[in-house]
Amino acid sequence: MSGILIAHRNPVRRDRLVRAVEAAPGRHLVAAVADLTAAYHVSEHTRPAVALVSEDLAALPEFEVMVLLFRALAIRCIVLADGQAGSRRSLVEGVERMPMDDVLGRPDLPGGPVPPVTPPKTAGPAPAAEFASDRLILIGASTGGVDALIKVLGAFPSDCPPTLVVQHTGGAFSAGLARLIDSHVAPKVAEAAEGERLTAGKVLIAPGSDRHLTVASRGTLVCRLEDGAAISGHRPSVDALFRSAIPLAPRVVAALLTGMGRDGAAGLTDLRRAGAATFGQDEATSVVYGMPRVAYELGGVGRQLPVTAIGQALLSACRRVPA
């Protein structure tokens, strides 16, 4: 039997879906939940064949992480267009959509998993001596950033320079995001911890939503998780990370990827002025050309590139210069 997960905020519509699943031959209800956090945990631990997600939940930024999980676990995701949320369109590409009434009107509800997506190929291990030992990579992303990060970090070898990432997403999703990306790329990917040393081969992602991720030098480079108000409308903020690295700018290589708004644009500009090598994702490959556009207009982007070229460009900027 095909297990079905329902994620819908509206209790009346959720109950209608539950009754339809329970009456459908060859289907069984795995869970009916009201938010994406619960849907994520159910999906990760029970692996339903199909996830039915309401359109308003699919419009949330953290839905990007859900889609990555669905693809990794070969879970078929169907976004339910119910008419009341018609103006809310998911910015995640390639997600199946179906009117809720069509789903309810079928005696055999949609079933069957989708074929698993082959993870992007990652670069083979590179000799540690290829990279200058003092280099640090910083990356900021928002809307569309989950897939962009997979493409960028997929180019990194297992001994890449230490890397810090701020990706705007819900506070409950950063640990899952780290696990998912870790399963797709060669370096070790994890949530950043207070005081953690930055070492080669490790990519650290800003955790939660209550503190900013920054970098500090205490003889060696370490992560700092700092309290504070939202910056550029976000916590953690890309601007907070970028600006904390200004004293280290000649050692820094930074990129600003797809995203709505302007978080990271001013910080990237300040980094470039202080001597960092900077990159921005181009309009053609951005899901939302907001953050990198503002950075480009401010003069903060040293090179504007398609997302598939940014990973190698970051590594090239970190390579040791022959004596």
Residue type for 106, please?
A: R
- Mean pLDDT score across all residues of the chain: 88
Q: How many other CB atoms sit within 10 Å of the CB of residue 310?
A: 26
- 106 confidence band (pLDDT: 50, 70, 90): low
Assess whether 210 carries a catalytic annotation: no
Backbone angles phi, psi at 160, to 5 degrees: -60, 160
Q: Which residues of 183-194 are buried (b: 16+ CB within 10 A; e: fewer)?
A: ebbbbebbbbee
Report yes or no: 138 and 202 within 8 Å, Cβ to Cβ. no
Average pLDDT rounded to a whole number, residues 137-152: 94
More confident residue, 107 or 187: 187
Assess whether 316 carries a catalytic annotation: no
Domain ranges of the chain: 2-104, 128-318
Report yes or no: 104 and 82 within 8 Å, Cβ to Cβ. no
Rounded to the nearest 10°, the torsion over CA 79, 283, 253, 161 is 40
- 111 confidence band (pLDDT: 50, 70, 90): low
- Measuring CA to CA, how many Å separate 210 from each of 42, 55, 161, 206, 217? 24, 27, 27, 10, 23
Q: Do 2-104 and 128-318 share a fold?
A: yes
pTM: 0.83
**Which residues fall within 8 angstroms of residue 293, CB to CB, at 6 or more apart?**
283
Report yes or no: 161 and 129 within 8 Å, Cβ to Cβ. no
> Each residue of 229-254: pLDDT tens digit?
999 899 999 999 999 999 999 999 99
Assess whether 147 carries a catalytic annotation: no
Architecture per CATH, domain 2-104, reads as 3-Layer(aba) Sandwich (3.40)
The CATH number given to 128-318 is: 3.40.50.180
> Each residue of 302-313: pLDDT tens digit?
999 999 999 999
Task: Quote the percentage of the chain above a pLDDT of 70.
Answer: 87
From the candidates 159, 263, 270, 282, which is the catalytic residue? Answer: 263
What residues pair up with 139 in beta bridges, in sequence order?
Answer: 165, 255
From the candidates 43, 54, 90, 142, which is the catalytic residue? Answer: 142
Q: For position 117, what pLDDT does the model report?
A: 47
From the candidates 8, 168, 184, 212, which is the catalytic residue? Answer: 168
Q: For position 52, what pLDDT does the model report?
A: 95
What residues pair up with 217 in beta bridges, in sequence order?
Answer: 221
